[in-house]
Amino acid sequence: MAGNRIAAVLFDLGGTLVDTRDFPALEEIAHRAGLHVDADVLAHWASEMRAENDRQGDAWSLEEYWRRVFEGAAGTTLPAPQWATLFQGLSAHEFPAHLYSDVRLCLDELKDQRLRLGVLANHVSEPAAREVLGRAGVLGFFETVVASGTERVAKPDPRIFQRGVDRLRVPPAETLYVGDQPNTDVRAAERAGLHGLWLHRDGTGFGDDPPEITSLAEVPIWITQFEVSGRGFAPSPPDDGGETLGGTPQRPRRRMG
């Protein structure tokens, strides 16, 4: 199929480029507010609420998301003064910015391909997102950073995706969005006219609805296949161990361990 082109890639932030989780600190913040919850229980509820938010396709505010997490972990509704104290501590905490091991290789390869790169995330503000990327050591890769808190519009609203492509000066049809949520990230990007790719680090990597990968190292390969054939990976694993079939690069075979 002629005419397929990817000129830009937009990335989600938390869970895609950086791991910002810090549940022991959240346990301590809760304890200081008089709420005794365990870090492991908070981790469970954080995962459950992310999945619930994605299933519903809502754009929860950060405060609403975290209130659901803490109230789920506590098994009760929190009084307004207690929640205000807890959320104040949560807002003041500097979360870690651990770069996933596959990020830098991916970004280096995309830069070598002269693709325009940006970050588009449901985050408290653009300066805060830039600060996280700076601490992770990758801010310099990105031409633009779009954050819901600054834009006053959040994923899955198509307007935030339009703002991302406008700032990169690339049409939606030539832009790929990569995120770790199938609906809020990928299907929402597709509804806005972009191409979407689901980073499912715990998955098989062979889902086709939405297109699924398990490592950012696969993004450059997906783009190459899309530009050759009009689609990314086939939903079944290759039989040649990751070599080429008919001159088209194939998805690398998964390795155990």
Spacing of C-alpha 114 from chain mean position: 22
How confident is the model at residue 108, as a pLDDT?
Answer: 98
Instruction: Indicate the pLDDT class of residue 204, thresholds 50, 70 and 90.
Output: confident
Instruction: Indicate the pLDDT class of residue 220, thresholds 50, 70 and 90.
Output: very high
How confident is the model at residue 208, as a pLDDT?
Answer: 82
How confident is the model at residue 242, as a pLDDT?
Answer: 44
Cα–Cα distance, 198 to 206 (Å, whole number): 11
How confident is the model at residue 234, as a pLDDT?
Answer: 52
Dihedral in degrees, nearest 10, Cα atoms 79, 85, 91, 95? -100
How confident is the model at residue 233, as a pLDDT?
Answer: 62
Alpha helical stretches, state H, 10-121: 23-32, 39-56, 62-74, 80-92, 103-112
What value does the mean pLDDT take over residues 109-113?
A: 97
pTM to 2 decimal places: 0.85
- State pLDDT tens for residues 123-156: 989 999 999 999 999 999 999 999 999 999 999 9
Give Dmax over CA atoms of the chain in angstroms. Answer: 65
Q: What percent of the chain shows pLDDT beyond 90?
A: 77
- State pLDDT tens for residues 2-58: 468 999 999 999 999 999 999 999 999 999 999 999 999 999 999 999 999 998 877
Instruction: Indicate the pLDDT class of residue 1, thresholds 50, 70 and 90.
Output: very low
SS3 177: strand
Comparing 68-77, 99-108, 226-235, the range with the smallest average pLDDT is 226-235
